Amino acid sequence: MYRFLLLVVVILLAACSPVVSETSQLIPTIDSSDTELIATKLSYERLCAHCHGYSGEGQPTGGGPGTVERSIELGYHPVPMHNAEGHTWQHADQILFEMIKYGARSPMYIYIMPPHAGQLTDDEIFDIIDYIKRFWTPEQRTHQAQITENFLEANPNWEEYHLDIYSEEQDASNID
Ligand code: HEC
């Protein structure tokens, strides 16, 4: 019995290993003792990765329902990539925050960008934004940090408005 179980484990490991080694090169490496970061990575993988890709590569390719090819065939934009090839790094943290918290429904996309206000706290959303930054090049990170600063200069009350008043109104309307 023990030998049989061992055999099953060996076969399963052999079957899984090519996939694991292929994707693990793309997924950002993280310190295994950093439990907060691991929790953020798991949230991203649970809530976002099936649309935006485990390493921000966007909607899956390869044809068939749900893939980039199918979206393009039907005249839609594919789900945006978050990696260095996408354009997420060209948006300020505040805009990314609003997109993740409140979502978006554009006729240009076959999928909606779902709102996550009920699933993630504001801090968790900012943690996920920081996680996404790991997919970018150092130059893109520097550029995006500057955009985030510009945005705050142009909208100095953004935090107060969106993280306090707006959030409370939103929470209250959810309860009603
Ligand atoms: C059902 C598929 C789906 C899921 C799940 C999803 N998204 Fe999206 N996301 C989209 C689509 C589609 C858009 C484009 C929306 C638009 O621009 O109108 C988008 C846009 C975005 C953008 C703007 C990116 C850019 O460069 O324009 C961010 C940031 C984002 N999503 C983050 C997330 C995060 C973080 C999660 C998980 C917490 C998530 N998304 C879950 C489909 C999804």
Neighbours of 158 (CB within 10 A): 18
Confidence of residue 10 (pLDDT cuts 50, 70, 90): very low
CATH of the domain at 118: 1.10.760.10
Nearest CA to ligand 1 atom 7: 113
Whether residue 141 contacts residue 89, with contact meaning beta carbons closer than 8 Å, is answered with yes
Pairwise CA distance, residues 74 & 104, whole Å: 20
Asked if residue 123 is part of any domain, the answer here is yes
The answer to whether residue 18 scores a pLDDT higher than 50 is: no
Q: Which of 45, 52, 116 to mutate to test the pocket of ligand 1 (most atoms within 8 A of CB)?
A: 52
Q: Is 54 in the pocket of ligand 1 (CB under 6 A)?
A: no
Query: To the nearest whole number, what is the mean pLDDT of the chain?
Result: 84
| 88-108 per-position pLDDT tens digit | 999 999 999 999 999 999 999
More confident residue, 163 or 46: 46
The answer to whether residue 61 scores a pLDDT higher than 80 is: yes
Q: Is 116 in the pocket of ligand 1 (CB under 6 A)?
A: yes
The token pair at 99 is: 């997109």
Asked if residue 75 is part of any domain, the answer here is yes
Confidence of residue 167 (pLDDT cuts 50, 70, 90): low
**What domain count does the chain have?**
1
The answer to whether residue 44 scores a pLDDT higher than 60 is: yes
Asked if residue 16 is part of any domain, the answer here is no
Asked if residue 124 is part of any domain, the answer here is yes
Q: Which domain holds residue 82?
A: 34-175
Q: Is 26 in the pocket of ligand 1 (CB under 6 A)?
A: no
Distance from residue 116's CA to the centre of ligand 1 (Å): 10
| 116-146 core/surface letters (b: 16 or more CB in 10 A; e: else) | bbeebebebbbbbbebbbbbbeeebeeebee
Asked if residue 5 is part of any domain, the answer here is no
Nearest CA to ligand 1 atom 29: 96
Asked if residue 25 is part of any domain, the answer here is no
Distance from residue 3's CA to the centre of ligand 1 (Å): 47
The answer to whether residue 134 scores a pLDDT higher than 90 is: yes
Cα 120 from chain centroid? 12
